[in-house]
Structure 1
Amino acid sequence: MENFEETPLEIDPALVPQLAESTIRTPIHALVELITNSDDSYRRLEAENQRVSGLIQVFVQVNRKNEVELIEVKDDAEGMNQKELKNALKFSGTPDIRFRGIRGLLRRGLKEACVVFGLGKIVTIKDGLVNLAYVYRGENRKPYKKLLKEPISYSDHNAVRNIIENPPPLKFKLPSRGTTVVIIPLGESRSRFKFFEDDIEKLCKHYGIRHIVTNPRRKIELYYKKESRREKFYELRLDFPRPRSPIKKEIQIGENQIQLEIYEYENQIDEPPFDESNLAGFTVLIDEIPVDHTFFGFEEDPDAYFFSGCVRADFLLKELRENPGKILTPNRMGIDWRYQLCREIKRAIINQFRPLVQRKKDKRFRGWSSPLESKIQGVCGKLNDLATRYLNKINVSTDIGQLIEGKVDKLTLVPPVTWVEVGEERNISIYCPKNMVGESKCKLQTDSDCIELSTKEITLQPSEKYPDLCYNYFTVTGVNLGMATVFCSLGDKDSSNCVINVVREKEIGKKKRRDKVAGRKGLFKSIKFDDLENPTQRVAYLDGVIFIYTNFPSTMPYISARGRLSNNPAAKAILAELIGDAFCRVLARKALEAGKQLGDPIDSYMAHYNEIQKLFLEKIHREIDKIVSEYQSDFQ
């Protein structure tokens, strides 16, 4: 390709695959980013009062295993000249000047999609000139780009035909103006990226393009081809269910305001698990651009799925321009809710949303009367005793959290980023390979007075279970609101650090405060039987309450509506398993929050879960058997 100029992408090659894969995790993510780029281009033309077709064409080809073989996205928008194409292929935290507002700060899809899939072909036409670029992974996964040295005239039909036919060939006819992007998975990416026909609906509902598929000035055509089968055509459109009258409020956040809209629906519009394609949840907009979709801790509450919402926080645009690293997550896939200003927004929304969900829940439970439910509440005291015993144990153990051997090769603080409430404590774990420790002690210091350290010097102890590692922990106490960094050094051998966000004491509504004073203390306050139709899980833990869903298929034969046990001998064991499952899940999460994580978070969670089961599940079975046996006549 003597007409091409080949150069590495302008970034540390080791970082590119990580950055790309954190942004483009599925074919849906790639499609969302490419469709969004096309919409951006149309919006810029519309801002100049130019007439546009608004057409975006998408082609997805998969093999018989539904592994993606090719994705192509084409628009008839503004296109790019050679300079603009070069800028679009730069990995940089500084937005290109041709992108306006928030989009320039979030732009992330074109080059990342090409890198993570393996090969990308970009053909773009502007002012009668055709520019072509390839982005691909070379040897050792290093990313490269090849750009056409000189643009080709759109009227040079032979040259343009060569561009269309050269691998990978283009499906759609090249417009006189616009951009076409083709991406092809290479190597291990082929088996990793799968796209099913059902994913078309998920793509249509993805929060990142809802404003596009509902825009009458846009038309998205998707062609789906599976191996030798007939090609199928879809026009992406989204019709929201009709909500009741929305709740609209302006909420003061310091010197700024957010606009909150909450919509309630007659029926559930979605169900757990929560993801980016759920219609339920809150979409956060900055300058009318969706930057996040979240449920603020209500992901497992089925009553929350009767609601959707919209949060307009335009004042964050200034913060984003000045320091996007504070507002956005490292991969720029959403809001970093640990940042102080974002936490204030989150807290304000939860305070408005929680009473609505509770009202929906109260309405469903009105008139319930279950002898089993009233008698079983005594189990909560036992659960809290067991939970306290376990949490105390992991706080003082010198080996807790040592869950995965061989993953620590340097001085490490876990978790690297966490939070603590004012007046509360949080444990931070230290791990280090034994051959690095010697007789040195770890020295601790912080750059802020918003936290206090339990010690300034600590000795790492050999792990009894894993002889190659040493471990210990220290405690931080929240003093004032703010952010602090804790620095840990092991002589001149190694150093590490972690970031602590100090937040306000959790706000408790008046009703909850009375419950806390008059009711049960601890993690487990109540156990309820819920006859929700079509539940997605058999048991859940929400705000101190264990909910057992009696209409879940594996629950129905043993526990009927309103919490009555069947005559099946296994009914007591099933009830104990359900309560035990919720108990183990809660404590495993608490262990991770306390910093007891090493290596992959899922592996760490399951290790804690299995350990808790081994310690306490048999005790929970005995307690349930005792209570049910005493009051058996009331339940049958």
Structure 2
Amino acid sequence: MIRRRDGGRASRRGRRLEQIKEIKMTSSRKLQYADRVAIQQADQAIRKDVMRALVEIITNANDSYSRLEDAGVDVNGEMVIDVLRKHSNSKIVVRDFAEGMTDSRMDKVVGTYGEATSGIKEDKHVRGMWGRGLKDSIFGLGYGYVRSFKGANFYSCSLLLKKGIPTFDLDDPIRATVDLRQKYEVLQGNGTIIEIVVSRNDVKMPQFNNLRNYLQRHFELRPIMSNPKRKIILRELANDGSVKQQHTLSYVAPKGEEVLNERLKIPDFPATVHLNVFRSAIQLSTRGEEGDYADGGLLVISHATVISLTMLKFENDPYAGYFYGTMQCDYLHDLLKNDEPVLTATRDGINWSHPFAKALKHVVETELEPLINVEREHALHDEQTKLDKKLRQKIDRALHELNTIAVSELRDPKDVTRKQIELPESGMAFFPEKLYVQTGQSAALILRVAVKENEKQNAVATIISNNSEVIALTPQVTLKKHKTQSSILEARVLVEGRQVGGEATITAYLGKNRAQAVVQVHSKKESIPSTPARGSNALFTDIRFDDRTDPRQRVYFDRVNSSIVIATAAPSVKIYLDENNRLDTTVQGQVLLAELITEAVCREIAREGVEKGRFLVLEGSEADAIQNHFIRLQNRHAHLIHNYIVTKE
């Protein structure tokens, strides 16, 4: 028998190992994150985007106000956002006057990562779904400070990068002195001040006007921006701390008609969704075009908190671009409380692979599909109408004759064609007279005035808008000499649109003279087709048939697009439509069409002539003058218009 030299020792060692295993103790601790993880998480959530960081901070402040309101406390709802742009280390300060924080609260809210600190677990109507939004916002842009007044004390802490290591420093509380309150502009009561230094070289600081535009339009902030109980002020600071400019931010939903308002059951879940959908007459921007700032799409809302903006499977369908609205589903809130992964970890919205999200998506898409199919059918019909060569030729011939009538009535026979700027008889006009402006943006009109003996350079004109959602940013303008024509004074008038689909008449007053321009607010960044100049014989550029126009007005003149619009849904029009919804294929339909066009053409020429000073009118009797000239023009030109339209072809 052959023995192994270490056989005995090996056997004894094995027995000792077994004994050690029997008495081994197990210890546990919280998993520790490496320092780099905080920065990686911030980059994933904020993506080096100042706008995303501000969304987090503004919604945090709104949550604080909401908690006070839920407790029955009256609040002023004010938030002040200060921006100091520099080549490096730009500064952003967001100040609210809500709950404030103590040092222990700061330690939990600012110094801890991933805790549910906003109140969502307690069923409070707040947005905060992760306990890391504030930290991500600060580290995603650089470093920062959180300061707060609570009761009689002042509390402060910082989130800094020390040798590349994310660090939380909590200061000892001190008394809230008058000097401290004046320094941080919280003169009384509680409040919190978030200061971020944009120190990262890979973060681009937006221009102030871009900040203003995009903050107002960001989908997550729309309920805040449109809440009358909130006031958000954006200020641009100079290096010495003075305010260069400030604006109160707001958001108004597009003008639209409600097409769906239903509460729907979600199969296999104890949940419902309230679906409210509107249709805009103007095509809206989509997420594919403008991302988080798109006007189109549905806001997914749970307990007053906006979670996502989506059009589901119709996201890239051009015929879905007319719809907007809300999907209200409070069951999402319940899932979040239970830490269900119904949202993406990077805050990009809903995780549509979650079983409930799939069911919700299917229910809503089923309701949307018929609406979008109708839109598609209308678009195809409109396209077929445009492609009808015979109808197009007929309309073009009629438009030529209608514009000949307009020129004969509105142009002074003594006028001759010249390259110089032409002004109406009143000697005052806007250029252009029709303008599109994108929502949230500003655009310019040029006001021009003929120099008269009693008018001098530096005269001041007053500018007024008749629509609060189309603002005259320059309520008074000073007229200066035109660069090349000394006989003309001009000034630049800035306007801003706040509601998609809104339309306003901008009026300039100078002494007894006035000029008007029509401004329409659009959603998309689109090139605006140039409208014909006054001397180009084109007051009327199209005749359109629209079954969505308000049927209570059978015909109207769209001044922005220079189009005569026939409301084919009007009962007295609808009975004359043929099987293809055409009005021009029968003699009876042509007669009605001629009457409608006569009404629109004569009324617009009368208005144009009175307002531009071409027709004589007594001061203060403009409305009567328009009606009198309308009747005169009908008597003079109705038979000619019938000859152009009633062709019996």
* TM-score, scaled to structure 1: 0.52
Please say which structure displays the higher CA radius of gyration: 2
Name the SS of the counterpart of 1:245 in structure 2: strand
Equivalent runs, 1:148-227 vs 2, <5 Å: 148=171, 150-155=172-177, 157=178, 160=180, 164=183, 172-173=185-186, 175-189=188-202, 191-225=203-237
2:322 to 294, 303, 306: 306
Partner of 1:267: 282
Equivalent runs, 1:122-521 vs 2, <5 Å: 122-139=146-163, 141-148=164-171, 150-155=172-177, 157=178, 160=180, 164=183, 172-173=185-186, 175-189=188-202, 191-225=203-237, 231-254=244-267, 255=269, 256-271=271-286, 272-324=288-340, 326-366=341-381, 368=383
Root mean square deviation, CA, Å: 3.3
State the alpha-carbon separation in 2 of the partners of residues 217 and 89 from structure 1.
27
Name the SS of the counterpart of 2:219 in structure 1: coil
| Farther-moved stretch of structure 1 (329-338 vs 74-83) | 329-338
Is residue 2:133 matched to residue 1:96?
no
State the alpha-carbon separation in 2 of the partners of residues 280 and 51 from structure 1.
34
Cα distance, 1:107 vs. partner? 4.6
- Do 1:251 and 1:260's aligned partners in 2 also have CA atoms closer than 8 Å? yes
Which residue type is aligned with residue 243 of structure 1?
G
Instruction: Give identity over the alignment, percent.
Output: 24
Which residue type is aligned with residue 374 of structure 2?
R
| 1:55-83 deviation digits (Å, cap 9, x = unpaired) | 1111112137xx77111000111101111
| 1:382-416 deviation digits (Å, cap 9, x = unpaired) | xxxxxxxxxxxxxxxxxxxxxxxxxxxxxxxxxxx
State the alpha-carbon separation in 2 of the partners of residues 221 and 286 from structure 1.
26
Name the SS of the counterpart of 1:103 in structure 2: coil
1:109 to 118, 133, 141: 133
Cα distance, 1:282 vs. partner? 1.1
Pair 1:107–1:360, CA change in 2 (3 A): farther
Partner of 2:597: none
State the alpha-carbon separation in 2 of the partners of residues 14 and 45 from structure 1.
36
| 1:336-394 deviation digits (Å, cap 9, x = unpaired) | 1111211111122222212212211221221645999xxxxxxxxxxxxxxxxxxxxxx
State the alpha-carbon separation in 2 of the partners of residues 142 and 221 from structure 1.
34
Cα distance, 1:283 vs. partner? 0.8
Equivalent runs, 1:37-52 vs 2, <5 Å: 37-52=60-75
Which residue type is aligned with residue 114 of structure 1?
I
Structure 2 residue ranges without an equivalent (≥5): 1-30, 388-521, 531-649
Is residue 2:98 matched to residue 1:77?
yes
Cα distance, 1:316 vs. partner? 2.0
| 1:223-256 deviation digits (Å, cap 9, x = unpaired) | 0247799711100111222221241112221232
How many correspondences in the alignment?
A: 359
| 1:164-192 deviation digits (Å, cap 9, x = unpaired) | 5xxxxx5x455431100110111424x53
Which residue type is aligned with residue 215 of structure 2?
L
- Do 1:248 and 1:259's aligned partners in 2 also have CA atoms closer than 8 Å? yes
State the alpha-carbon separation in 1 of the partners of residues 523 and 105 from structure 2.
51
Pair 1:196–1:10, CA change in 2 (3 A): farther
Which residue type is aligned with residue 147 of structure 2?
V
- Do 2:60 and 2:128's aligned partners in 1 also have CA atoms closer than 8 Å? no
Equivalent runs, 1:5-44 vs 2, <5 Å: 11-25=33-47, 26-44=49-67
* TM-score, scaled to structure 2: 0.51
State the alpha-carbon separation in 2 of the partners of residues 80 and 273 from structure 1.
40
Pair 1:241–1:537, CA change in 2 (3 A): closer
Pair 1:16–1:368, CA change in 2 (3 A): same
State the alpha-carbon separation in 2 of the partners of residues 39 and 110 from structure 1.
13
Pair 1:214–1:197, CA change in 2 (3 A): same
State the alpha-carbon separation in 1 of the partners of residues 76 and 384 from structure 2.
61
- Do 1:251 and 1:258's aligned partners in 2 also have CA atoms closer than 8 Å? yes
- Do 1:280 and 1:305's aligned partners in 2 also have CA atoms closer than 8 Å? yes
Which residue type is aligned with residue 288 of structure 1?
A
Name the SS of the counterpart of 2:265 in structure 1: strand
State the alpha-carbon separation in 1 of the partners of residues 33 and 119 from structure 2.
21
- Do 2:351 and 2:357's aligned partners in 1 also have CA atoms closer than 8 Å? yes
Name the SS of the counterpart of 1:208 in structure 2: helix
State the alpha-carbon separation in 1 of the partners of residues 146 and 386 from structure 2.
67
Partner of 1:60: 83
State the alpha-carbon separation in 1 of the partners of residues 232 and 38 from structure 2.
30
State the alpha-carbon separation in 2 of the partners of residues 46 and 22 from structure 1.
32
State the alpha-carbon separation in 2 of the partners of residues 174 and 123 from structure 1.
14
Name the SS of the counterpart of 1:231 in structure 2: strand
Name the SS of the counterpart of 2:91 in structure 1: strand
Pair 1:85–1:106, CA change in 2 (3 A): same
Which residue type is aligned with residue 111 of structure 1?
K
Which residue type is aligned with residue 233 of structure 1?
Q
State the alpha-carbon separation in 1 of the partners of residues 97 and 524 from structure 2.
45
Which residue type is aligned with residue 34 of structure 1?
I
State the alpha-carbon separation in 2 of the partners of residues 123 and 264 from structure 1.
45
State the alpha-carbon separation in 1 of the partners of residues 525 and 78 from structure 2.
38
- Do 2:208 and 2:236's aligned partners in 1 also have CA atoms closer than 8 Å? no
- Do 1:27 and 1:195's aligned partners in 2 also have CA atoms closer than 8 Å? no
- Do 1:16 and 1:143's aligned partners in 2 also have CA atoms closer than 8 Å? yes
- Do 1:45 and 1:78's aligned partners in 2 also have CA atoms closer than 8 Å? yes
Pair 1:54–1:367, CA change in 2 (3 A): closer
Name the SS of the counterpart of 2:352 in structure 1: coil
State the alpha-carbon separation in 1 of the partners of residues 303 and 119 from structure 2.
17
| 1:527-548 deviation digits (Å, cap 9, x = unpaired) | xxxxxx999799xxxxxxxxxx
- Do 2:312 and 2:361's aligned partners in 1 also have CA atoms closer than 8 Å? yes
- Do 1:247 and 1:261's aligned partners in 2 also have CA atoms closer than 8 Å? yes
Which residue type is aligned with residue 220 of structure 1?
I
- Do 2:111 and 2:168's aligned partners in 1 also have CA atoms closer than 8 Å? no
2:143 to 105, 114, 119: 119
Cα distance, 1:292 vs. partner? 1.2
